[in-house]
Structure 1
Amino acid sequence: MSGKWVFMALAAFTGILLSFELHLISILVLSIIIIRIVHRESFKILIFYFAFVLLFFFASEYTKVTHVSYYKSPAKLQAVVLTFKEYPQIDGNRLKAVAVSPQKEKFMLLYKIPTEGEKDELVRKLRAGTACTVDGKLVWPEANRNEHAFNYEQYLKRMNIHWIFEPGSISTFDCHSSGTSLTATLQNLRALGVQVIENEFPEKLASYASALIFGERSFISEEADHSYKQLGVVHLLAISGLHVGIIVGSVFFLCIWAGMTRETVFWTLFFLLPVYAVLSGGNPPVIRAVIMAILILSANRWRLPLSTLDIFSLSFMLFLLFDPLLIYHIGFQLSFAVSFALTVSSAYFLHQKVHVILQMINISLISMLSSLPILSYHFYEFSLISIAANLLFVPFYTIILLPAVFLLFAISFIKLPFFDFVAGVLDGVVHFSEKVASAAGSMPYSMFLTGKPSALSMIFIVGGILIFFVLRERRIHPLKCALPLILVLTAYSASQKYSPYGEVVFVDVGQGDSILIKLPYNRGVYMIDTGGQLHFPVAEWQERRKPFKVGRDTLLPFLKSKKISRIDKLILTHSDADHIGAADELISELKIGEILISPNSWEKPMMADIVNRAFEEKIKVKEVKAGYGWENKSGSFYFVYPFDDEYEGNDDSLVLHAYFGGLSWLFTGDLEKGGEQEVISAYGKLEIDVLKVGHHGSRGSSSEPFIQMISPEYAVISAGKSNRYGHPHAEVLEILEGENVRTVRTDESGAIHYRFTSKGGTFKTVLPYDSARSP
């Protein structure tokens, strides 16, 4: 089997795909590999291939059968003993941890800490392996409420977690050690190491040291993380095969230098590497690198006939035999895709005769191409400058920063007098590297936006990448090799941008409004409001490191998934935070053609800040009112309100009347009954097919005379799930029902889509099922 284990790894991959994802891609993979084996290999390999396909298929089926919950519906649990499987994460006033019940079922425990004193007590007492007796309730994990958004429910299920447990309180008097396992002990040591770094290192350097030594990335600032993603070098902030390779080489050199025999060095690394895998967070890239390192050491120790590709294949199978659902982990996908590409390409692109700079370029190019489909599928974009960025940042991290933080961590326990000086210098270097990353990442055209590729698009993209590698192996010029992939990406981008289909999306932004209108053939992209959050002052101990932001966490990923990088008109109906609070985040990340606002709404502080920000970015801002509008081949758009220039709040919301997709639309912002009466008086009759209900369904809007005047067939209500205001109010729902208006709500159905052509379209919702579902 020497040199043939790659076929067994492909068999494992195929068997898992057939179990979990029985569709075009899994059938295509199976067919291509069978054709390859029949054409080039022996009948014996084909038999082994089918045997491994069946092995991993049934292993995956067994996983599906065993990954079920003991509980069948939400429930209140009294005096249940939960054991913390991992060291609890305490961020601001939130405690989060995986906890295990007496029935060995895992829960995601989420607890809102009520006081600073209790937070301090929990930080001191809770550890991995601690068991606490608590009362609480089981609640459903939240599924994604917007198309292509992160599906927390699915994410937890793939870790065999079916419930969120919310304790009423956690008293450390009811907590005790449950007999700590080796894994829990190592996790507690990891947390202690992170605390040492926090206490001893300068703040900026501490965030990098925690990430590079222990895999704890939560301290990396939002700005730095974004810059490194733009550069395509964010992998340097996570422990990966590169880090493990440096550690193995360093330990091997030091042990030999200290006079240890190779036999002793082998056994030292054999036991040390799994320990480090746990200490560094146990992420898939680390575990892959550790497994491969142990297999390489074992092959050298016992002279096993295993090639590097065989070792890669065996580590892949061992990983997935332990847990087939890891196939969905993004870190697993990226780690194995890049490693596989580097392994099979090493003979052609990374031979010793090539200059070291050219080798680094080849490594960066291979890494970029092999990760491109995965990044496109999950994040909808990839970096175009990652090759140049890797040439700069990889040497800095591997030669300077990584060894330095390990050395500083070691001497921090000795309290040497020069520690503070060296740490300060290195902190300044890190600050400078962040500025370089930010400047480079903000360069125009540094990212290529792909949107969410379909299965067919993914096949063509992967095909273009494979053609590049095949042609490059034959020593054809790189530009000619890249031509098929460039053509695929160009054709794909054009088909997305100039699609004959348009779409209206009432985005679920919680308690707020945000509506996307995308016309066919790229004739216009408009957004009405951005949603946003009301910010209430909190004590310093309650502040979270990276609090949720509507723009960053909801709107921008959604727009990127739709391959939208430019908004032609951003319409801000009025100055309330739940309508314009995320505008600044969009202005920072997207190209905005112009911003339309209600007359004199800029007198309010939040709108004034947005207008000033727009001026800084040289974005045109227009005050508009009734009578202003525009037309194109796909539709017409006219404002029907307000009539005057005096701004008084909700009743001066911009109200847009539009006709497109075969329907007449009325978008009313937070228009209330007073404004509705003015519209009635001015227009007498407006025939509307779809009404965006004013003020989230508040009883202060949607009066019966107004609904009778516009006679809508459909009404869309944008309101947050379980919002504190009770929107939509029963009176409004009764009026709509009495007028035979078909009503759909974001709080019940998530985002609401209308996909159309010039001939008409169809509605759909992201959550088409009832919330009382089984897990």
Structure 2
Amino acid sequence: MSGKWVYMALAALSGVLLSFELHWISFLMISLGMIRIFYRESSTFLILYIAFMLFFYFVSEVVRIANTSQYESPDKIQEIALTFKQYPQIDGNRLRAVAVTPQKEKFMLLYKIPTENEKNELTHKLRSGLTCMMNGQLVKPEANRNEHAFNYQLYLKRMDIHWIFEPDSIHVTDCHLSTVSITDSLQNLRASGIHSIETKFPKTLASYAAALIFGERSLISEEADRSYKQLGVVHLLAISGLHVGIIAGAAFFLCIRLGMTRESVIWTLFIFLPGYAVLSGANPPVIRAVIMAILLLSSKKWRMPLSTLDIFSISFILFLLFDPMLVYHIGFQLSYAVSFALTLSSGYFFQKNENVICQMMNISVVSMFSSLPILSYHFYEFSLISIAANLLFVPLYTLLLLPAVFILFALSIMDFSIFPMAAAVVDRIVQLSEKMALAAGSFPYSVFLAGKPSSVGLIFIVSGILVFFVLKEKKIRLLKCALPLIVVLAVHSLIQKYSPYGEVVFIDVGQGDSILIKLPYNQGVYMIDTGGQLKFPIPEWQKKRKPYSLGRDTLIPFLKSKGISRIDKLILTHSDTDHIGAANELMGELKISEILISPNSWEKPIMAEIVNKAFIENIKVEEIKAGYGWKNKAGVFHFIYPFDDDYEGNDDSLVLYASFGGMRWLFTGDLESAGELEVASTYSRLEVDVLKIGHHGSRGSTSLPFVQLTKPRYAIISAGKSNRYGHPHTEVLEILDMENIQILRTDEHGAIHYRFNSKGGTFKTVLPYDSARSLLGQ
């Protein structure tokens, strides 16, 4: 089997995908694997390959079928004993942990801590392995409410977690320490180490030390994390194979210097490496590196005929045998894709006579290209300057910062007097590296926005990468090797940008409004409002390290998934936070040609802040009212309200009438009954097909005369799920129902899409809905 384990790894992956993803890509991969074996290997090996694939198919089927819950519906649970299977994570006033029932079912435990004293008590006394008696509520995890958004429900299901448990309270007096496993002890030791770093290290250095020693990245600032991602060097902030290799090598050297025999050192590493995997967070890249290191040591010790590719393949098989669901883990995908590419290309890509810089550049090229499809699929973009960034940051981190933080951690434990001075020096270096990352990450065109590739697009991208490696093996120049991939990416980008299909998306932003209009053939990208969050002052102890941000966490990823990097017109209907609160974040991330606002709405503080930032970003801001409009080949757009320059709030919302995609649209902002009356008295005829209901379906809007004037076929209501205002109000729904108008609501259906071309279009909703399916004729 020497040299052939890679086929078994492919068989294992094929079997898993056959069970989890009954997709044409799975069958394509299986067919290509079998064809290659048929022509290159014996019939006996082909039978072994098929048997191996079927074995993993049945293993995956067992896992898939067993992935169910004993609880059938949300319910109140009394007096349940839950054991913490990980050290609880406390961020602000929120506690999160995986806990298991006596029947071994896993819950995601989420608890809102009521007081600062209780937070301090829970922080010091809760730990992995602790069992507590609790009362609480089972809650179904949320599915994604916007297209391409993170699906928390699916994420938990792949961890065999089907319910969120929200305890009424957690009393440490009701807790006892059950039998503590070695894993529990190591997790508690990890938490203690992270706490020690937070306490003793300077703030900036502490965040990097926790990441480099224990794999805890939550302490790193959002700004720094984003910059490292844009540079394509964020892997340096996570414990990876490179870190494990350096640590294992250092441990081996120290043990030898201490006089231990090679035999004893190898057995020591067999024990130390799995323990360190748990201490560093047990993420897939770490576990992969540890398994490969142990297999490599074993092959040396017992002289097993295993190549590096064999060791890589066996580790892959063991991973999938342990948990087939790991194929969905992004860290697993990136770690094995990059490692596989580096292993395969080592023979012809890395020459012994090359200098260190050339070898580092080759490693960066291989890493960038092999990770490109995964980054495009999950994050919709990838760094164009990662090769140069790696040349700068990899030596800095591997040769200086990584050894330095380990030495500092040892000094802090032994409480040496030199620690504060040494920590201050390293902290300064870290701050300088962070500033370099921030500056480099802000370079224009440093990132290629790929958008979410389709299955076919992904196949072409992977094919372009394979062609690159084949050509490079033949010693062809780097630029010529990369040319097919560059063409594929260029065509993919052009197809996405100049698609013959347009789209209107009523984005689910909770209790607020945000509407995207993307016209066919790149004839215009417009956004009406951005949604926003009301912010209230809270005590310091309740603040999260990285609080949710609507712009950063919802709008920007959604727009990037659509391949949108530029908004031609950002229309801010009026100066309410729930309509324009995220505009500032968009200006920092996207190119915006102009912003249209209601006359004198800038007198309100929130709009004034947006206008000031637009001035700094050199974005044109224009006050407009009824009479302003534009048209192009895709459609006609006219503002029909307000009529005057006085700004008084909701009833001075910009109201846009548009005709495109075979529909007539009316976007009303938060227009209320008084404004509707003005519109009705001015326009004797104003029939539309789609009416965006004003003010989220409040009873103060959508009067019967206005509905009878516009005569819409469809009514769109943008409101937050279970919002505190009770929107949409029953009175509005009754009026719409009385007029036989089809209603679509973001609170019930998630984001609402209308996809169209020159011949017309169809509606669809992100969340399943019977009437929505009826509307689509499905």
Q: TM-score, normalised by structure 2?
A: 0.99
Asked whether 1:658 is paired with 2:645, we answer no
| Identity of matched residues, % | 73
Aligned to 1:107: 107
Across the two proteins, how many residue pairs are aligned to each other?
771
Asked whether 1:517 is paired with 2:517, we answer yes
Aligned to 1:45: 45
User: What's the CA shift string for 1:403-459, capped at 9, x where partnerless?
Assistant: 000000011012222211110111111111111001101100000011111111111
Equivalent runs, 1:607-646 vs 2, <5 Å: 607-646=607-646
Asked whether 1:329 is paired with 2:329, we answer yes
Q: Structure 1 residue 176: deviation in Å? A: 1.2
Whole-angstrom CA distance in 2 between matches of 1:557 and 1:20: 26
Aligned to 1:363: 363
Look up the SS of the partner of 1:413 in the other structure: helix
Aligned to 1:677: 677
Whole-angstrom CA distance in 2 between matches of 1:152 and 1:323: 19
Question: Which deviates more, 304-313 or 29-38?
Answer: 29-38
Aligned to 2:264: 264
Equivalent runs, 1:391-470 vs 2, <5 Å: 391-470=391-470
Aligned to 1:56: 56
Aligned to 1:535: 535
User: What's the CA shift string for 1:575-615, capped at 9, x where partnerless?
Assistant: 10000000001000000010000000000111000000000
Aligned to 2:734: 734
Asked whether 1:713 is paired with 2:675, we answer no
Whole-angstrom CA distance in 1 between matches of 2:149 and 2:542: 27
Equivalent runs, 1:155-174 vs 2, <5 Å: 155-174=155-174
Look up the SS of the partner of 1:306 in the other structure: coil
Q: Structure 1 residue 477: deviation in Å? A: 1.1
Q: Structure 1 residue 769: deviation in Å? A: 3.8
Equivalent runs, 1:554-593 vs 2, <5 Å: 554-593=554-593
Whole-angstrom CA distance in 2 between matches of 1:624 and 1:45: 73
Whole-angstrom CA distance in 2 between matches of 1:485 and 1:124: 53
Question: Which deviates more, 214-223 or 680-689?
Answer: 680-689
Whole-angstrom CA distance in 1 between matches of 2:744 and 2:395: 55
Whole-angstrom CA distance in 1 between matches of 2:181 and 2:753: 50
Look up the SS of the partner of 1:412 in the other structure: helix
Aligned to 2:250: 250
CA RMSD of aligned residues (A): 0.8
1:531 aligned partner, one-letter code: G
Q: Structure 1 residue 685: deviation in Å? A: 2.1
1:687 aligned partner, one-letter code: E
Q: Structure 1 residue 44: deviation in Å? A: 2.4
2:125 aligned partner, one-letter code: K
Equivalent runs, 1:194-205 vs 2, <5 Å: 194-205=194-205
User: What's the CA shift string for 1:34-66, capped at 9, x where partnerless?
Assistant: 111111222222121111101110010000111
Asked whether 1:125 is paired with 2:125, we answer yes
2:239 aligned partner, one-letter code: I
Q: Structure 1 residue 344: deviation in Å? A: 0.5
Could you say if the C-alpha distance between residues 465 and 320 of structure 1 is closer, same or farther in structure 2, counting changes exceeding 3 Å?
same
Whole-angstrom CA distance in 2 between matches of 1:306 and 1:414: 42
1:276 aligned partner, one-letter code: Y
Aligned to 1:339: 339
Look up the SS of the partner of 2:755 in the other structure: strand
Look up the SS of the partner of 1:304 in the other structure: coil
User: What's the CA shift string for 1:535-580, capped at 9, x where partnerless?
Assistant: 0110000000111111001000100000000000000000100000
Q: Structure 1 residue 351: deviation in Å? A: 2.4
User: What's the CA shift string for 1:650-706, capped at 9, x where partnerless?
Assistant: 010000000000100000000011111110111122011000000000011001111
Q: Structure 1 residue 284: deviation in Å? A: 0.3
Aligned to 2:776: none
Whole-angstrom CA distance in 2 between matches of 1:769 and 1:52: 41
Asked whether 1:553 is paired with 2:559, we answer no
Whole-angstrom CA distance in 2 between matches of 1:701 and 1:333: 50
Whole-angstrom CA distance in 1 between matches of 2:37 and 2:172: 60
Whole-angstrom CA distance in 2 between matches of 1:79 and 1:415: 45
Whole-angstrom CA distance in 2 between matches of 1:487 and 1:91: 45
- For structure 2, the residue ranges without an aligned partner over 5 or more in a row are 772-778
Q: Structure 1 residue 73: deviation in Å? A: 1.0
Whole-angstrom CA distance in 1 between matches of 2:51 and 2:742: 55
Aligned to 1:88: 88
2:540 aligned partner, one-letter code: E
Aligned to 1:178: 178
2:175 aligned partner, one-letter code: C
Whole-angstrom CA distance in 2 between matches of 1:615 and 1:431: 30
Aligned to 1:484: 484
Asked whether 1:544 is paired with 2:544, we answer yes
Asked whether 1:19 is paired with 2:19, we answer yes
Whole-angstrom CA distance in 2 between matches of 1:67 and 1:656: 49
User: What's the CA shift string for 1:367-407, capped at 9, x where partnerless?
Assistant: 00000000000000000000000000000000000000000
1:508 aligned partner, one-letter code: D
2:296 aligned partner, one-letter code: I
Aligned to 2:136: 136
Look up the SS of the partner of 2:413 in the other structure: coil
Asked whether 1:745 is paired with 2:745, we answer yes
Asked whether 1:384 is paired with 2:384, we answer yes
Whole-angstrom CA distance in 1 between matches of 2:572 and 2:758: 27
User: What's the CA shift string for 1:94-151, capped at 9, x where partnerless?
Assistant: 0000000111100000011111111111111110011111100111100000000000
Q: Structure 1 residue 770: deviation in Å? A: 7.2
- For structure 1, the residue ranges without an aligned partner over 5 or more in a row are none
